[in-house]
Structure 1
Amino acid sequence: MNAEPGEVLREQLLAILTEDAHNAKRLNERLDSLASETGVGAYAALLLILTRKSFPDDEAQLHWKLIVERQREMSEALSREVGVRVAAFDYFIHVNRQLVQPALIDIELLESSAQNATLDPLTGLASERTFRSAVSNELRRSRRYALNAAVVLFDLDDFAAVNDRLGALVADRILREASMLINNKVRDIDLVARCGSDELVLLLPETDRNGALLVAERCRAAIEGFFAAEGASRPAIHLTVSGGIAAYPSDAQTPEDLLAGAARALYQAKAAGKNLVELHQDERRRYLRFDLEPGLFEVEVLARGRADARPLLNLSQEGLLFASPEAIDVGERIELRLAGAGTDETVLRGSVVRLEVLPEHDPAASDRFDIGVVFDEQTAPSRRALLTFLECARAPR
């Protein structure tokens, strides 16, 4: 007699049954992969969940193969997909006849059990249910103590194509690796969860928009770099991730609006070409961005103990973009002095959030990088100075 399956194994099996009950091929691929990791006891645990009857490990594996064959036969005979629960019921009642009083578990109970799980069985991250509860609790805490909080929603770019090309087992392994990469880039107080098939989401307590952008950009760069190299059990692939950010209280006041705002920002990142992280922007366009005429403005960049005047490409109340002959790493703190026609000089401090290599459109050009910076919280005088710069710009986006 086998013992009751462990909680982690049970959650993994419930997830497989609820997600792939009508997809026999993928269900068996995932079950075989799980059995190779945990041993043939996975089959006994599966039948215990389905029938509430214990079987020796080897016998359970044989029964499962016959159930799968029965599922195929029934699907062909009925010209439609037959679920594994129906196939198991038919097998034990009409073929093997081991169940005198059928007690096959209802699929709704399977779904309810999976939804109540606190961990995602595939990645080991928090479940969506756990995440939504944590967001609600964190916003209550943030309101009480006047704190910031942010949500980052990630989606692996073109992951369905990766699944089709490399197969479900490799795709599952890739999703676990991506989850680990993101989990390694956050603090202990942050929460990483899986929401949907290929969406990962972060809850960042006591973090504003700019801080969330830094974290999200680190995660994006880590995933792009990791999958560009060949892995132990997969080829090198061009896998990237897009992200959307929404923050409390600047973007939303409720958990529902916060998640919806992050989803809209993610959609904007996808629409802009993928492999990007976008901040939520409401319909009022809180931070208008202005493209600047060449030579109209410049920014003096104080970084690494030296100061260089560089062309200012665009500017908003939140940040700016300038061209540079040298790379400045994402996350590096820099000081900026803005100057232009008809304006007074103003000094701002910020953090680099974007580093992009310019295309080789002009071999003679000295500037090879676009550097994006978000400002620290500005004082009243610096905000007024920024407004002066913005009023001088004439090309709103």
Structure 2
Amino acid sequence: MPVNLPLPLADQLLPVAGVRLGTAEAGIRKQGRRDLTLIELAAGSRAAGVFTQNRFCAAPVTVCREHLATEGVRALVINTGIANAGTGAQGVANARASCEAVAAQLGISPREVLPFSTGVILEHLPVDRLVAGLPAAKAALKADGWFDACHAIMTTDTQPKCASRQVQIGGKTVTLTGMSKGAGMIRPNMATMLGFIATDADVAQALLAQLVREAADASFNSVTVDGDTSTNDSFILIATGASGAPAISSADSADYKALRSAVIDLAIWLAQAIVRDGEGATKFMSIVVEGGKSREECRQVAYAVAHSPLVKTAFFASDPNLGRILCAIGYAGVADLDVSTLKVWLGDGKEEVLVAEQGGRAASYREEDGVRMMKSAEIVVHVNLARGQAAATIWTCDFSYDYVKINADYRS
């Protein structure tokens, strides 16, 4: 079960003016489940995105990047079950064919369609099934379709991940609703995840591109489940401009700052939801590193701790074998790190105990205190490098028996 992740309720997800969503059972991989999502956007909508840095990026990522080179976006098509990655030229042709099929359904240009896939790598997308499912997805289009869509984009997720926010822009209420999927093969940049946030704010294209990068850096690029950077990761920010709020064209404006805060808040929630639903996760961990010379140095140390299988399995067992944390800090790659000056605390979000200082176990540390912290479902590892003013936080989860079972049976 996810770690302290509430199930979304349909009436908590707010429609975004200019966005309609529809889902269908296309049988792309498994029968009896919705696996195709169609999102229709109002004319004049803009979109910007960030994608995986895996050199084996999936065909839909390649096509998405091409289509985002133009400002006009009218639709998104998302399939689960087959990732359409490692599929060569045929995979790209299939991604383009899916865009052409959507364009024919909606009466728009294929370049106005953004394709997304998630699922098994090295298998070709059954375009015939996707095309056959599109009329049903089109017929299901509705403004309040977010609840169905966030279910339809799931793969090994145990529950959907979606939420809404509202903010005042120029005296008008602007709505943001987003959804994400992902549970394993999660590691920036980015992770086997899909993330979508739509807002009815009117945002200039250059600012939208800036905002999606800033939001990704604060959220999806600060999570990890297992250290695997996937082939299909995509985070898309959409602005329809249909709220009637004043257009946002300056990053220095109060309106942009208000929207930026809301987008980042929602993106962080969606990213953390992925970690809370990490495959087999029983613990949600925040690795907080401060006192570094740079933010990147702090992230380097945080990721070393977050990726360590020994640390993650100890947390699963609630075993305060905390020397594993010191070990990970030591091999993180900070060559001139003075371990005699750093400190490490372990906490549960309400209190924390000093674990290490002066190069070893803190004199005040007691095993029973560590056990108490480790039994919490939410744990904070707090590290002070004592060498500067920079800080960074990475969110991760533990490794349980179920992680192995889920990934061993992934294709079955």
TM-score normalised by length of structure 1: 0.28
Structure with the greater alpha carbon radius of gyration? 1
The one of the two structures with greater contact order (alpha-carbon pairs below 8 A, sep at least 6) is 2
TM-score normalised by length of structure 2: 0.27
- Structure (1/2) with the larger strand percentage: 2
- Structure (1/2) with the larger helix percentage: 1
